[in-house]
A and B are shown apart, each in its own frame.
Chain A
Amino acid sequence: MDDLSFLKDIPDPVAGAPGAAGPVPRFAAPSPVRAQARRRRLAALGISLGWLCTHLAVYGIRTDFARLPVEYVALQIALPALIGVASLLLAVAPGKLGLGLTVSVIGGLAVLGPLSFWLCAALLNTPYPALDAGLQSSAFWPGALVCLDITLAWAAAPLLLAALVLRRAFPAGAGWRSGLIGAALGLLSGAAINLHCSNVNQGHMLLGHGVPIAVAALVGGLVVSRWARA
């Protein structure tokens, strides 16, 4: 006997209700079939990567890249990019039931991804002394705000595309899954700005490069989810 069979003690109040289906609805508006949806998502992914790469090419790779320690590059650039790609894939993964991965996995990733970026930014030793070393420095706030704006802009376009191509894609866990997509795109933008900006000040990294990741995750969870919920 199965373990929850005692629930059957409770009778069904509508067990004898009519079971016939009503009139079959007819839909005037066409909807994308699976092949079209897949093509649109791949196109959006390509455009998003192109968006980041084009801006990176125009803005240029950071001037101190050649003298950065390997672990610094690995933790500040490669790791966020890797987590971003993995988060993106896991957010759209169908899972066992076709409803995505469990909320605990998705929610955990949506929080831990940005957190890992902040921890690396806060705890990793700077490879050389930063020029605007303190919050009191006159160069700190303009520099941080410029990077914040750029990173937000770099994440915004892919997020908009995600909202368009993932319309009605998530019947369950839409908030967390969209939040994870936002976090993933924020992490990719964060990795890109780390590849461009040569400011190693930890405060600058946290504010200018890290805050947009949290903003992207929140926009994903609170705004994109409205489109993505089926």
Chain B
Amino acid sequence: MFFILAFLSRPAQIGTAGQSGAGAAEPRQEADSGALGSVDLAMERYADGDESAFPVIFAELGPRLRLFLQRMGCAADVAEDLVQETFLRVHHARGSFARGKHVAPWAYSIARNCFISHARSAKTKMSRASVDADQVELPGAHGASGEEESIARQSARVVSEVLASLTPARREAFVLLRYEGMSVAAAAQIVGISEGALKIRAFHAYEALRAALAKMEVPLASGAERGNRSSAAT
């Protein structure tokens, strides 16, 4: 309880923290910075009717949205279909894109809506354990020993399985904060809940993932700090 309260009081972002942990992707934080990036400017042009700007948006956001959807539990082929659906909706909604804003939170919201529509559809069956760790080229695998590579694959599989077992609400909170580089404010608005509620969801997901990784004794970057936090929580 103590730790949850401390967690909630944090004005959190994770974007500028140093790289840590096996396979950690560096989240982006452009959504909250003031300056517009090239993809934001491309979206400005596209919203104003410049069709030639679309490939720029697709090249930048397409892979990110596909990975987001895979992390949310979609199989690779389903994620690809949902990316196409997302961009179809982006196309139809471009007239509503607000001037001078970043496109990433807006596009993630649309992708999330596509994911929810897909998940709710009675005709579709989501692949729960969507990521096949054996088919993924893991970071750290290059030049790593066989044992390190094996641990990396095993931890990726465990994370994938635990993510799939979480409730969608907790999973999306964690994925947006941890992997997609959203600030708490942006993620909360994408999900449509308060910042405090989002932090609680992400925290529960983190605890489940941490416990699963601890069981397989994966060395984590901030183990000492985490140990302190666990003792504080108890």
Chain A residues within 8 Å of B, Cβ to Cβ: 1-17, 19-22, 24-25, 27, 29, 31-38, 94-100, 102-104, 166-173, 175-176, 229-230
The DSSP consensus for interface residues of chain A is: loop
Contact A11 B31 (CB under 8 A): no
Contact A10 B159 (CB under 8 A): yes
Contact A17 B177 (CB under 8 A): no
Contact B93 A98 (CB under 8 A): no
Contact B102 A98 (CB under 8 A): yes
Contact A103 B24 (CB under 8 A): no
Contact B113 A15 (CB under 8 A): no
26 contacts between A and B (CB under 8 A): A2-B13, A2-B15, A5-B17, A7-B178, A8-B14, A9-B226, A11-B156, A11-B159, A12-B156, A12-B178, A13-B157, A14-B67, A33-B47, A33-B94, A34-B47, A35-B48, A37-B96, A96-B185, A97-B31, A102-B194, A168-B93, A168-B96, A171-B109, A171-B110, A172-B105, A172-B109
For B110, list chain A residues within 8 Å (CB): 171, 230
Give complex CA distance A21, B13 in Å.
Answer: 27
For B222, list chain A residues within 8 Å (CB): 5-6, 8-9
Give complex CA distance A35, B30 in Å.
Answer: 26
Give complex CA distance A3, B226 in Å.
Answer: 13
Contact A99 B106 (CB under 8 A): yes
Give complex CA distance A5, B229 in Å.
Answer: 13
Inter-chain contact count A-B, CB under 8 Å? Answer: 228
Give complex CA distance A175, B218 in Å.
Answer: 42
Q: A24-B54, A97-B102 are in contact. List 18 more A-B contacts (CB 8 A).
A: A7-B206, A8-B19, A10-B174, A11-B155, A12-B179, A14-B71, A15-B24, A16-B138, A17-B67, A17-B70, A25-B84, A97-B106, A98-B102, A99-B106, A168-B89, A171-B93, A230-B92, A230-B96
Q: Most B CB atoms within 10 A — which of A13, A35, A99, A104?
A: A13
Number of interface residues of B (CB under 8 A): 93
Identify which of B22, B70, B190 contacts A11 (C-beta below 8 A): B22
For B178, list chain A residues within 8 Å (CB): 7-8, 10, 12
Contact with A along B58-86 (1 / 0, CB 8 A): 11001100110011000010001001100
Q: Is B192 an interface residue (CB 8 A)?
A: yes
Give complex CA distance A143, B25 in Å.
Answer: 66
Q: Is B41 an interface residue (CB 8 A)?
A: no
Contact B97 A98 (CB under 8 A): yes
Instruction: Report the minimal beta-carbon distance from B127 to chain A, rounded to whole angstroms.
Output: 13
Contact B25 A12 (CB under 8 A): yes
Identify which of A33, A102, A167, A171 contacts B48 (C-beta below 8 A): A33
Q: Is B123 an interface residue (CB 8 A)?
A: no
For A9, list chain B residues within 8 Å (CB): 20-21, 206, 210, 213, 220-222, 226
